[in-house]
C-alpha cells in the first residue's frame, strides 16, 4: 500500500532559456533564477497559495499547472492523496520565454514524488522527465529545468523524449532583458511557417552544432553560433522591440538572441562584460545578470 510522507516537502526549480538562437525545440539552458515551492499532503481538499510572478493571473484550483503535474505524477506512482496544500513563491517571469510553465510542471512532478514514501523506486528520474515533457508537449525547457545545466533534447520516432547534458565553459555568463509585457507561446508559434527553405535548415543545423562547441569551451564563436534562421525573424511582428534589441546588440558583436518563444532577450557574456550589458537595458524593461545553473530541480 502506498503511503505519503508526513510534513511538507520543498522544491526549487530554475528558470530556463530554450532554443538559444538556432537550436529550435532542442537546446535549453538552466539559469540562476529559481521558483520555490512547498507541498504537503493534508486530510482533504486543495489549498493553493501563490506569491510573486503570475500571482494575479494563475488559478488556485485543480487547473493550476503545478497541481495538474502533481496529479499526473501521483497517477504514475499509483497514489492519489485525499488532500493537498501547495505554496508557490514564483520568481521566474510568466509569458516571457524563461520557462515558467516548465518550471511549474517540473516542480509538480518532483514534489509529488517527494511526497510518496519510496517515490524514487516508483518513478525514477527518466520517468519523471518524460512525464514532464509529455505534459509540456516538448522537452527543450523541461530538460534543463529537471536536470540543470545545458541540455540537448528531443523526441524519438516512437514518441519517447530524451535529453543529453553538455558542458558549459565556466567563463560564460548570461544577461537577460525582460520586457514589461509578455507574449504567449501559442501566439509566437502561430507566426512560424509550415516550411522553410532547405538552405536555411542546413545553415541552422550548422550553427546549432557550432553552438554546442562554443558553449563547451570556445566562447569566441558564440556570436556566429547564435545566428538563427528558423524562427526569430518570423516572430518579429509579436515582439518588434525584442528583435530590435537583438539586432542592436549583435551589430555590436554581442551574441544576443530571443529566449525561448520570447519576448525576453538573452545575451551571452563574461564577468568583465556583464555590467556593460546591463547598462543597455531599454527603458521600462528589467535586466538580470545570471549564471548558468548547474543544478536542476531539487528537494529539501
**DSSP string of 131-167?**
HHHHHHSSSTTHHHHHH-SEEEEEE-TTS-EEEEEE-
On the CB side of 142, how many CA atoms lie within 13 Å of its CA? Answer: 28
Where do the structural domains in the chain lie, given as residue ranges?
A: 9-167, 173-290
32 is in an annotated binding site: no
CA 85 to chain CA centroid, nearest Å? 25
| Contact between residue 19 and residue 260 where contact means Cβ atoms under 8 Å apart | yes
Separation of alpha carbons 96 and 259, rounded Å: 8
Sorted by sequence, the CB contacts under 8 Å of residue 75 that are 6+ apart come out as none
52 is in an annotated binding site: no
Separation of alpha carbons 129 and 188, rounded Å: 25
529537471: which residue's cell? 146
102 is in an annotated binding site: yes
* Mean residue pLDDT across the chain: 96
Cell reading at 11: 522544491
18 is in an annotated binding site: no
pLDDT the model gives residue 106: 98
Give the fold, CATH level 3, of 173-290. Answer: Alpha-Beta Plaits (3.30.70)
249 is in an annotated binding site: no
97 is in an annotated binding site: yes
H helix and E strand count, the chain: 10, 11
259 is in an annotated binding site: no
Which residues make beta-bridge pairs with 161? 155
94 is in an annotated binding site: yes
| Contact between residue 48 and residue 90 where contact means Cβ atoms under 8 Å apart | no
- Residue 38's Cβ-count burial label (10 Å; 0-12, 13-18, 19+) is middle
pLDDT the model gives residue 300: 86
pLDDT the model gives residue 2: 75
45 is in an annotated binding site: no
Give the fold, CATH level 3, of 9-167. Answer: Ribosomal Protein S5; domain 2 (3.30.230)
pLDDT the model gives residue 274: 95
558542458: which residue's cell? 167
Per the confidence metrics, is the pTM higher than 0.85? yes
255 is in an annotated binding site: no
Separation of alpha carbons 7 and 57, rounded Å: 28
User: What stretches in the chain show pLDDT beneath 70?
Assistant: 1
What CA dihedral angle connects 92, 96, 99 and 103, to 10 degrees? 40
CA torsion through residues 192, 197, 202, 206, sign? negative
Amino acid at each position: 500500500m502506498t503511503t505519503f510522507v508526513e510534513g511538507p516537502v520543498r522544491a526549487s526549480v530554475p528558470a530556463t532559456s530554450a532554443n538559444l538562437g538556432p537550436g529550435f525545440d532542442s537546446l535549453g539552458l538552466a539559469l540562476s533564477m529559481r521558483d520555490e515551492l512547498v507541498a504537503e499532503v493534508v486530510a482533504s481538499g486543495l489549498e493553493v497559495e501563490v506569491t510573486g510572478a503570475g500571482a494575479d493571473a494563475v488559478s488556485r484550483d485543480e487547473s493550476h499547472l503545478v497541481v495538474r503535474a502533481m496529479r499526473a505524477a501521483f497517477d504514475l506512482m499509483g497514489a492519489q492523496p485525499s488532500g493537498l496544500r501547495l505554496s508557490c513563491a514564483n520568481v521566474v517571469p510568466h509569458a516571457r520565454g524563461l520557462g515558467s510553465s516548465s518550471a511549474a510542471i517540473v516542480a509538480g512532478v518532483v514534489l509529488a514524488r517527494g511526497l510518496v514514501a519510496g517515490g524514487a523506486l516508483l518513478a525514477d528520474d527518466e520517468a519523471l522527465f518524460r512525464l514532464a515533457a509529455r505534459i509540456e508537449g516538448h522537452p527543450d525547457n523541461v530538460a534543463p529545468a529537471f536536470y540543470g545545466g545545458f541540455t540537448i533534447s528531443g523526441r524519438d520516432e516512437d514518441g519517447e523524449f530524451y535529453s543529453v547534458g553538455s558542458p558549459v565553459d565556466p567563463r560564460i555568463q548570461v544577461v537577460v532583458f525582460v520586457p514589461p509585457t509578455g507574449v504567449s507561446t501559442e501566439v509566437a508559434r502561430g507566426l512560424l511557417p509550415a516550411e522553410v527553405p532547405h538552405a536555411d535548415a542546413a545553415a541552422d543545423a550548422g550553427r546549432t552544432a557550432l553552438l554546442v562547441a562554443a558553449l563547451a569551451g570556445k566562447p569566441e564563436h558564440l556570436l556566429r553560433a547564435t545566428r538563427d534562421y528558423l524562427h526569430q525573424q518570423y516572430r518579429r511582428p509579436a515582439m518588434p522591440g525584442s528583435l530590435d534589441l537583438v539586432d542592436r546588440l549583435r551589430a555590436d558583436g554581442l551574441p544576443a538572441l530571443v529566449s525561448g518563444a520570447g519576448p525576453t532577450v538573452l545575451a551571452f557574456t563574461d564577468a568583465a562584460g556583464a555590467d556593460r550589458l546591463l547598462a543597455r537595458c531599454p527603458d521600462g524593461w528589467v535586466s538580470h545578470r545570471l549564471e548558468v545553473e548547474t543544478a536542476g530541480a531539487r528537494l529539501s
